[in-house]
């Protein structure tokens, strides 16, 4: 009887060990990259050309981003986000940390032949003389990604959605093979407006949905419609490779002479707060099979609300991007009204992501209203 019991225990142990050794993932080859499907877990993507290999643990697959042959905490998608971030930060050099505080200049895809703004070269030549493809990285992009450790990239016009996606894949393949394998964060200003001639809308080719501008959407007085827009736009952003929206612009439009009036959600603090909340919920929330954790998932796009503490009350309508628009003024001392779209809207979401993931400050000096810092 004792022998039978021992045999049964031994069999259970063997079965348990075997179960732990069974692979719970599969790999799918795509155009220039591979997808790794973990059963009941995350879908991973990587470039076979980057030098990154896969580590299997407990039957699941993980990317060996720092190429040390072992599973680090930051590489373990089962761990909490904060825990992974702390582990990654502990391994970063000062130069790598500084690089994550940088943002690129405006990047056209492909780059134009002119020097400076929007320009770039491919192996030292203009695109049409280089033999490069439209989705390839420029010399300048390779430099700021490899030498400057920069990872936040702002794209403007694109030749087509397909070229934008290919460019993003090429960028991710490059940075995946560098150091700790920190991915790039492609971002964009709004690109769903009906004015197809505009910089950020160029190259859509009819494949990106067209909507009224933010002011027009706010004029519907319908937060549900605004959230629906955000949900659709975020999926299209992700298809383009864009992970961060440099929007919404939730400045109160209290100065009609200001040139950016039409990008706001109007002059009413309550309406702007409601619309800001809906916009961010739409962009950031993933549901169903796309959901991973805390409302975030494969369809989520970071929303960077702007411009704190409210860029609407420009003195004389002069814009803060320029030296002559250095000051924001508040007739009637109404600073608190300008804060409401942030504090009561974008920072207090109805959805599970809780609050907007990023904030863009403005360049103005809030004149004579800050009793704490002057």
- The string of pLDDT tens digits covering residues 249-296 is 999 999 999 999 999 999 999 999 999 999 999 999 999 999 999 999
Confidence of residue 116 (pLDDT cuts 50, 70, 90): low
pLDDT of residue 119: 84
* CA atoms 85, 88, 94, 97: torsion sign: negative
83 pLDDT above the threshold of 90: yes
Helix (H, G, I), strand (E, B) or coil at 295: coil
Q: Can you read off the two tokens belonging to residue 293?
A: 């954790």
pTM of the predicted structure, to 2 decimals: 0.90
Q: What is the pLDDT of residue 3?
A: 57
Percent of the chain with pLDDT over 90: 82
Average pLDDT of the segment spanning 301-315: 96
Which segments of the chain does DSSP mark as H helices, in order? 2-21, 81-91, 94-99, 127-130, 139-146, 161-176, 214-218, 223-240, 269-284, 335-340
Query: Where in the chain are all domains bearing CATH 3.20.20.300?
Result: 94-366
Residues 242/188, Cβ–Cβ less than 8 Å? yes
SS3 189: coil
Mean pLDDT in residue range 121-143: 96
DSSP 8-state symbol, 268: -
Contact 184, 175 (CB under 8 A): yes
Does residue 84 or residue 32 have the better pLDDT? Answer: 84
Q: Are 149 and 99 in contact (CB under 8 A)?
A: yes
Residue 180 CA to residue 178 CA, distance in Å, equals 6
The answer, yes or no, to whether the previous bond of 248 is cis (omega within 30 of 0) is yes
- Rounded Cα distance between 142 and 165, Å, is 17
Question: Which pLDDT score is estimated for 15?
Answer: 46
User: In the numeric block, which tokens belong to residue 47?
Assistant: 């470039």
Q: What percent of the chain has pLDDT over 70?
A: 90
Query: CB of 172 within 8 A of CB of 184?
Result: yes
Tokens 């409601």 -> residue = 274
For residue 144, report the phi and psi dihedrals to the nearest 5 degrees: -70, -20
Look at the block and give the residue holding tokens 């549901």. Answer: 287
Task: Report the CATH architecture of 94-366.
Answer: Alpha-Beta Barrel (3.20)
């Amino acid at each position: 009887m004792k022998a039978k019991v021992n045999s049964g225990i031994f069999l259970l142990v063997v079965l348990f060990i075997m179960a732990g050794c069974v692979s719970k993932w599969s790999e799918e080859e795509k155009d220039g990259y591979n997808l790794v499907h973990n059963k009941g877990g995350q879908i991973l993507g990587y470039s076979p050309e980057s030098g990154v290999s896969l580590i299997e643990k407990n039957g699941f697959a993980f990317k060996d981003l720092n190429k040390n042959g072992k599973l680090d905490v930051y590489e373990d998608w089962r761990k909490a986000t904060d825990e992974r971030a702390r582990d990654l930060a502990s391994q970063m050099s000062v130069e790598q940390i500084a690089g994550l505080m940088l943002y690129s200049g405006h990047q056209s895809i492909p780059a134009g032949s002119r020097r400076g703004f929007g320009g770039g070269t491919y192996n030292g030549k203009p695109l049409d003389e280089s033999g490069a493809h439209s989705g390839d990285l420029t010399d300048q992009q390779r430099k700021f990604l490899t030498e400057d450790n920069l990872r936040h990239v702002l794209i403007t016009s694109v030749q087509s959605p397909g070229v934008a996606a290919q460019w993003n894949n090429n960028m991710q393949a490059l940075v995946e093979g560098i150091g700790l394998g920190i991915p790039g964060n492609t971002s964009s200003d709004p690109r769903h407006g009906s004015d197809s001639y505009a910089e950020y809308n160029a190259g859509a080719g009819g494949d990106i949905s067209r909507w009224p501008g933010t002011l027009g959407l706010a004029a519907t007085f319908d937060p549900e419609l605004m959230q629906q827009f955000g949900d659709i736009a975020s999926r299209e952003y992700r298809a383009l490779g864009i992970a961060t929206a440099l929007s919404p612009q939730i400045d109160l439009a209290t100065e009609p002479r200001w040139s950016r009036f039409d990008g706001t959600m109007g002059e009413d603090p309550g309406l702007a707060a409601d619309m800001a909340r809906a916009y961010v919920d739409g962009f950031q929330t993933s549901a169903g099979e796309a959901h991973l954790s805390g409302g975030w998932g494969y369809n989520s796009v970071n929303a960077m609300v702007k411009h704190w503490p409210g860029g609407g009350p420009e003195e004389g309508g002069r814009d803060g991007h320029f030296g002559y628009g250095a000051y924001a003024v508040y007739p009637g001392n109404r600073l608190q009204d300008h804060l409401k779209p942030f504090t009561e809207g974008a920072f207090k979401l109805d959805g599970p992501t809780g609050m907007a993931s990023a904030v863009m400050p403005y360049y103005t000096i809030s004149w004579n209203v800050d009793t704490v810092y002057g």
